[in-house]
Amino acid sequence: MAGWGWGWARAVRGLLLDVSGVLYDSGADGGAPIAGSAEAVRRIKASGLKLQLCTNETQATRADFVRKLRAMGFDVSVAEVTAPAPAACRLLQERGLRPHLLVHHDLVPEFAEIDKTNPNCVVLGDAAEHFTYANLNEAFRLLIGMEKPVLISLGKGRYYKETDGLKLDVGAYMKALEYACDIEAEVVGKPAKSFFESALAELGVPAEQAVMIGDDIVSDVGGAQQCGMRALQVRTGKYSFSSLSNTETVKEGCSFGEEYSM
Amino acid sequence: MAGWGWGWARAVRGLLLDVSGVLYDSGADGGAPIAGSAEAVRRIKASGLKLQLCTNETQATRADFVRKLRAMGFDVSVAEVTAPAPAACRLLQERGLRPHLLVHHDLVPEFAEIDKTNPNCVVLGDAAEHFTYANLNEAFRLLIGMEKPVLISLGKGRYYKETDGLKLDVGAYMKALEYACDIEAEVVGKPAKSFFESALAELGVPAEQAVMIGDDIVSDVGGAQQCGMRALQVRTGKYSFSSLSNTETVKEGCSFGEEYSM
């Protein structure tokens, strides 16, 4: 496992792990684990390092997500998962916002406790096939009709890799609504600083003693570095699809000029 | 008809008219003419002014579009319509581009003469209900897989007004693909300068003797002014939905600080 000999690594006490593209590739078939990743999680835990999954997964509740990961052989619990939906619920309650949800049907239960009557904001998640023209237009009409439109996006990813290829992520639809309504969305989830801070709090390790591992140069590597963490980009997931310019950014991303291969 | 007494108006020899939101409001029901608009077209023609419809309509061929307008009582012909699809076909042929079409099914016949095998670009129109996740993802995968992705968008409108309310326009989906692929689309149609220049050539009147009339402050008013034309924004169509900031822009748009009411 290249890189663990580096001096700074001795100070590392905890890891934040992205999931899709790092531990497994998602897919309509439920997805498939990436070779060696379940063993890697076991070894990380056996080494005494603290571990927290830091994901922008918004196609399932954390409980269902963990159930799926455990079925693939990953030894993880709900408490070890930091995800956007619970963070969004905290934000909605703090600000007395009542959301119209444009999210995957399987994520809706995460918002069970939230008042959704007479919406005064729109919450956007990775709705995938639920991103129909009618659904996006409904969200648009609600926003354009608000005196001060509030759009909360669960992540801003461009795309992710599934077992059958690349898939458009929530960020593309966020941009569509931002442009149509001439507004700027508030992003909950990676790369938002507050989201990484929550993940570090749940990890129980300060930024300078934690490392973020992910396949997205912006959401994972860039976001973590803005919180003062080191970050590594794996060569799995969408990495192999990165454009040249992204590949160059990777080198910046990993300040030690190397990527991490599982 | 306020405004025609202005001194400059005496020099006007031709009008470019936007259609949706100016002559009629489109809709699943075929749409409905705006009160007085058919009569206005008759009076413009009777006055000896030249007339050309300058539209970003991409949900039907020009022939079907004109058939619909004539059925609503508008005395117009195909030759009097400047639309994006024919302009896009010229561009595709000039550059030897083979498009993957993400457009409304009813527009496809406009591309009958174009080689669409082994696509090396994506042409995006107002596909409306055909903007499914699967269709947008297919266009995304083609673009991200190209060495130099070429995205040609038939307009960049944010939204338009139909009989049952506002609808997301092609511009929102253009932004989604631009963001996902980290590229910039080439816009054919309003507000592209070359598109207004084609419309003026078909009108047969120089820019300084022509006036553009539309309901979109960017695509109609802004685009025309960049070609040295005067432009008027009607108070029909999406105008009534304009945000305060847009309303302020309108005043700039119509340099004489007045809007035109049909």
- DSSP readout, A60-93? S-HHHHHHHHHHTT----GGGEE-HHHHHHHHHH
Instruction: Inform me whether the pLDDT recorded for B115 exceeds 90.
Output: yes
Q: How far, rounded to the nearest angstrom, does the alpha carbon of residue A205 sit from its chain's CA centroid?
A: 19
pLDDT for the residue B261: 42
Out of B129, B172, B241, whose CB is closest to A176? Answer: B172
Cα–Cα distance between B131 and B129 in angstroms, integer?
Answer: 5
Q: Is A172 within 8 Å of chain B by CB?
A: yes
Q: Is B45 within 8 Å of chain A by CB?
A: no
ipTM score for this prediction: 0.85
DSSP state of B260: B
Q: Is A218 within 8 Å of chain B by CB?
A: no
Judge: B159–A144 Cβ closer than 8 Å, yes or no.
Answer: yes
Lowest mean pLDDT among A56-70, A147-161, A226-240, B183-197: A226-240
Do residues A162 and A224 touch, judged by C-beta distance below 8 A? no
Tens digit of each residue's pLDDT (9 = 90 or more) over A11-57? 999 999 999 999 999 887 888 999 999 999 999 999 999 999 999 99
Q: Where are the alpha helices (DSSP H) in A72-192?
A: 84-94, 133-144, 170-181
Tens digit of each residue's pLDDT (9 = 90 or more) over B203-235? 999 999 999 999 999 999 999 999 999 999 999
Q: Is A147 within 8 Å of chain B by CB?
A: no
Locus of tokens 């100070």:
A11
**Pairwise pLDDT comparison (A195 vs A10), residue with the higher score:** A195
In chain B, residues with a C-beta closer than 8 Å to the C-beta of A137 are: 166-168
Judge: A128–B132 Cβ closer than 8 Å, yes or no.
Answer: no
Q: How far, rounded to the nearest angstrom, does the alpha carbon of residue A132 sit from its chain's CA centroid?
A: 22
Q: Which residue of chain B comes nearest to A141, CA vs CA? A: B166
In chain B, residues with a C-beta closer than 8 Å to the C-beta of A182 are: 158, 243, 245
Instruction: Inform me whether the pLDDT recorded for B122 exceeds 90.
Output: yes
Q: Closest Cα of chain A to B170: distance in Å?
A: 10
Instruction: Inform me whether the pLDDT recorded for A191 exceeds 90.
Output: yes
Q: Closest Cα of chain B to A162: distance in Å?
A: 12
Q: Closest Cα of chain B to A140: distance in Å?
A: 7
Q: Give the predicted TM-score (pTM) of the model.
A: 0.86
Judge: B132–A136 Cβ closer than 8 Å, yes or no.
Answer: no
H or E element in which residue B170 lies: helix B170-181
pLDDT for the residue A255: 34
pLDDT for the residue A5: 57
Greatest mean pLDDT among A9-18, A92-101, B23-32: A92-101
Locus of tokens 């992205």:
A18
Judge: A140–B159 Cβ closer than 8 Å, yes or no.
Answer: yes
The mean pLDDT value for A239-260 works out to 42
Which residues, in sequence order, are bridge partners of residue B122? B100, B151
Length of chain A: 262
Q: Is B158 within 8 Å of chain A by CB?
A: yes
Instruction: Identify the residue among A126, A168, A184 best suited for mutation to test binding to B, counting B beta carbons within 10 A and taking the highest.
Output: A168
pLDDT for the residue B7: 78
DSSP state of A29: T
In chain A, residues with a C-beta closer than 8 Å to the C-beta of B175 are: 175-176, 178-179
pLDDT for the residue B35: 94
- C-alpha distances out from residue B37 to A140, A258, B46, B262, Å: 29, 66, 14, 7
Q: Is A243 within 8 Å of chain B by CB?
A: yes
Give the whole-number percent of chain B exceeding pLDDT 90.
81
Q: Is A136 within 8 Å of chain B by CB?
A: yes
Question: Cβ–Cβ contacts within 10 Å for residue B98, how many?
Answer: 13
In chain B, residues with a C-beta closer than 8 Å to the C-beta of A131 are: 132-133, 136
Specify the pairing of strand B50-54 against strand B81-82.
Answer: parallel
Average pLDDT, chain A: 89
Cα–Cα distance between B82 and B57 in angstroms, integer?
Answer: 9
